[in-house]
Every structure is written in C-alpha cells, then in structure tokens.
Structure 1
Amino acid sequence: MRKLGVKAAAAAVILASPAAAEMEYSFYIGSQSAPHSVLSGTIDGTAGTAIDSTVAWEGRSTAPPPYYGMRGVYWRESGWGYGLEFTHAKAYASDADRASLGFDSLEFTDGHNIITANIHRRWKNQWWNGRLTPFVTAGVGVAMPHVDIQHGGGAHTFGYQLTGPAARLGAGVSMAITDRMSAFTEYQFTYSDNKIDLDSGGTLETSLITNALNFGISYSF
C-alpha cells in the first residue's frame, strides 16, 4: 500500500506539472517617440560626403504603417517567464534636419524593427482584489529596420537590413478580464546600435532609442 501511495503521489506531481506553466500571447499598440541621436558616416564611401550631425527623430505612431508589437511568454509557476518579442517601431528624421543635411528621405518606418529574447517577472494577483498583476521585462536581440534613405537625388537605399544589437526594458500592469484574457498597459524602452549600408557605397551609423506607452491584450492557456 505504501508503494502504491508513493506511485500515486508521483503521478499526481507529473500530471500537475504542465498545469503549473502557462503560455501567453500578447499584442499591443501605443504611443512611441524617438529622441535625437548623432548620425555619422559617409554617403559615397570613404572619400564621399561626410555626415556628423545630431538628428531629431519623430515616432508618428499612428501614421501608416502604425506602431505595434507582439510577444509570446512561457510563464513558470515561480513568476518568471521567457519568450520572444517583436516591436514595429518607427523613426522619421525631422523635416528641418533632413533638409539641412541634404537628404530626400531619412527614415526607418516599416519599421525600425526590434526583435529580442526576453526574460520576464510578474507578481500575480497583487492588487485590486487580485485582478491586477504588475510585471517587468528585459531583453536583448537585434535591430532589423526597413531603411529608406536617399541623399541629394542619388542612390535610394530602400529595404530591410540587419543593422546591429538591440535591447529593451519595460514595466507595466495587467488586469484580468476572464480566466484566459487580460488587458495591460506598460512603459517600454528600446535601444539599438545601427550601422546602415547605403546603395551609394557609404555607411551611416546611429544609436536609436524609443520610448513607448503601450496598451494591449493577452491570451493565455
């Protein structure tokens, strides 16, 4: 009987283990900005037109294509989670800076895509009668912007590039709607170090930051 009891307990633990984990998928939109950064490099190769200037960037979150993001998180019973996240951010050079530097176009708008592997921590059912769950996020990965750059009517660089490393930090709170669905809001910061190859033969480099206030929906199972 004792052996039977031990086996039954072990079986119960094995069967219960999958239920302790949870898979969650989230989609969000929001308001995203991109502070100024230093843009440096050359337009036409090493002997070409040199660029070394501070550029003011704009997010224009609702202009097509809009700002959005999505992620998947595998949550453990401990409150820690692991997953992947994609953010379609945007960065337009201000009209004044673009014109003063001689660019016909200078933007990353379809978009300034950030892809990271994340680690998450949440404190489930902490506030408002157990309906609110605070959480934090951190991740590292790559930037893969859609580059749209043309200078002085010359070669037009237009397409996706893998431009360098990226990182993100975030913090927010989610609210249970049903057993499986929740709504959330969060602040999210991203950083990327970008080296862009131009079709004219030159390269440009800049570090882009985004700040975003996100609103989204999550589904878990």
Structure 2
Amino acid sequence: MKRLIPGAALAAAITASMAVPVAAETELSVYMGWQTLPHSRIKGELPNNGGSYNELVGWEGKPFSSPPYYGARATWWKSETLGFGIEYTHTKAYAPGSVKTALGFDRLEFSDGHNVATLNVMKRWPDKWGTMTPYVGGGIGFAFPHVDASHVSGSRTYGFQVTGPAARVLAGATMPINDRYSVFGEYQFTYSSNEGTFDQGGTFKTDIKTNALNVGISMKF
C-alpha cells in the first residue's frame, strides 16, 4: 500500500485543480468545529496470521484533543453564484476500548488525521438573507489517513496510507466582516471507503463517515 504525506496529497489535489480556469474572485477559508462519527464495521485479517475479524465500531472523533479537527478550502468563483475549488479536512477516528480489547489492539486509530482531500463544486446565493449568503457544495477525492495501530502480536503500524475514494457535501452561510473578510458556519458530511494494511500481514477495510458543525473565516481577493 502506498504511503503519502499530507503535503504531497495536497499538492496532487492542487495540481488537479489547475484545470479550472482562474475565477474573478478567489476565496480562501479555514475552519474548526465539532466532529462526530456514526458506527461502521471494520474487517480484515489480524497481523501475524491472527485470523479474520469483523467488528462494529463506535468511532470516537475527539475533535478538540490534540491534534484538533480542522480544515481548509480554496474556491475560485467563476460567477456570482458558481465556483470550483479544493478542500482538505483533518478528521479523526479512534476505536473504543471494547473493540481494541476484542481484536487484541493496544492502539487502533486514525489520530494524526483521517485526512480527506476533494475537488469541489460550490453554489451560493449572494445576499439572499440580507447580508448573509447561503451556500452549498460537494466534492470527490480520496482519503489518506495516518494509521496508528499496535497489536499484541507485535505488529506496529504508524504512517500515512492512501486508502480509497472519498466524498463530501456541505451547506452553510457566510457573513462579511468587511470588503475582504467574512465569517461562516456550516454543516459538513464526509464519506470515505478505506482499505489498508497493518504491519506484519494484517489488513483492514472500513467506511468512515463524519458529521461536523464548522465555524471559520474566509479571505477573498
């Protein structure tokens, strides 16, 4: 399985986005927020020929623990209402103690990011709610989590892996502070289908879904 650092993944997303013509307005946004994860199943082969497994996981997000949940987005607005862009989100997913015990893991988490990068399409309605501008968006891309797993058999996995396709949808509203800066709030959902490996022969397959309420600031130029 290929390994990839976040900077390389973002560079790839930026390169892909260069096919989008430069817009009349460019907007850079950063955000933090509250992130949760629905249950999903994780299955595969345990390290060191430990056998197959299939467990329901109540993933924990821990958005405010270090490193925190955050994201960044660049949007090239082609018109007053239509834009294209790229987005990176540093989500997190921790397996609870009950699942780790059942599978023999001391650690089982994507804690230095279940990182998601996408190419987006955005739609907005300027000043529809007075000075507030509602917007929606969606994108497709890939997940490159930092897999942190320690198994009682002696396997230790620690590193970035490209694990599969990802998608996001979002909806929110932005309000200007002045001619250049604005603040926004939004709901965002991400989905990724992940297949990866543990050191010494193990594998995993799991779908990771996140729900997040974000607040952030944007700069346009």
TM-score of the pair, normalised by structure 1 = 0.87
Specify the SS of the correspondent of 1:29.
strand
Question: Shift of the alpha carbon at 1:154?
Answer: 1.5
Question: Shift of the alpha carbon at 1:94?
Answer: 1.2
Tell me whether 1:190 sits opposite 2:190 in the alignment: yes
Alignment correspondent of 1:218 = 218
Alignment correspondent of 1:5 = none
Given that residues 43 and 200 in structure 1 are in contact (C-alpha distance below 8 angstroms), is that contact kept between their aligned partners in structure 2?
no
Given that residues 168 and 190 in structure 1 are in contact (C-alpha distance below 8 angstroms), is that contact kept between their aligned partners in structure 2?
yes
User: What amino acid does structure 1 have at the position aligned with 2:68?
Assistant: P
Alignment correspondent of 2:158 = 158
Tell me whether 1:204 sits opposite 2:204 in the alignment: yes
Given that residues 41 and 203 in structure 1 are in contact (C-alpha distance below 8 angstroms), is that contact kept between their aligned partners in structure 2?
yes
Superposition pairs for residues 169-184 of structure 1, below 5 Å?
A: 169-184=169-184
Find the aligned partners of 2:164 and 2:119 in 1 and give their Cα distance. Answer: 15
Q: Name segments (4+ residues, structure 1) moved above 4 Å.
A: none
Superposition pairs for residues 133-148 of structure 1, below 5 Å?
A: 133-148=133-148
Superposition pairs for residues 1-221 of structure 1, below 5 Å?
A: 21-44=24-47, 47-128=49-130, 131-221=131-221
Alignment correspondent of 2:16 = none
Question: Shift of the alpha carbon at 1:26?
Answer: 0.2
User: What amino acid does structure 1 have at the position aligned with 2:79?
Assistant: E
User: What amino acid does structure 2 have at the position aligned with 1:59?
Assistant: G
Find the aligned partners of 2:23 and 2:203 in 1 and give their Cα distance. Answer: 50
Find the aligned partners of 2:197 and 2:23 in 1 and give their Cα distance. Answer: 47
Cα distance per residue 1:118-152 (max 9 Å; x no partner)? 00000011113xx1000001000000000001221
> What runs of 5+ residues in structure 1 fail to find an aligned partner?
1-17
RMSD of aligned residue pairs (Cα, Å): 1.6
Find the aligned partners of 2:22 and 2:113 in 1 and give their Cα distance. Answer: 37
What count of residue pairs does the alignment treat as equivalent?
201
Given that residues 194 and 206 in structure 1 are in contact (C-alpha distance below 8 angstroms), is that contact kept between their aligned partners in structure 2?
yes
Find the aligned partners of 1:218 and 1:29 in 2 and give their Cα distance. Answer: 12
Given that residues 36 and 56 in structure 1 are in contact (C-alpha distance below 8 angstroms), is that contact kept between their aligned partners in structure 2?
yes
Aligned in 2, Cα 1:186/1:133: closer, same or farther, shift over 3 Å? same
User: What amino acid does structure 1 have at the position aligned with 2:185?
Assistant: T
Find the aligned partners of 2:102 and 2:23 in 1 and give their Cα distance. Answer: 58
Find the aligned partners of 1:52 and 1:137 in 2 and give their Cα distance. Answer: 34
TM-score of the pair, normalised by structure 2 = 0.87
Given that residues 47 and 155 in structure 2 are in contact (C-alpha distance below 8 angstroms), is that contact kept between their aligned partners in structure 1?
no
Residue identity (%): 50
Find the aligned partners of 1:109 and 1:120 in 2 and give their Cα distance. Answer: 29
Rg: which structure is higher? 1
User: What amino acid does structure 2 have at the position aligned with 1:120?
Assistant: M
Question: Shift of the alpha carbon at 1:78?
Answer: 4.3
User: What amino acid does structure 2 have at the position aligned with 1:38?
Assistant: R
Find the aligned partners of 1:171 and 1:20 in 2 and give their Cα distance. Answer: 21
Find the aligned partners of 1:83 and 1:49 in 2 and give their Cα distance. Answer: 43
Find the aligned partners of 1:124 and 1:79 in 2 and give their Cα distance. Answer: 7
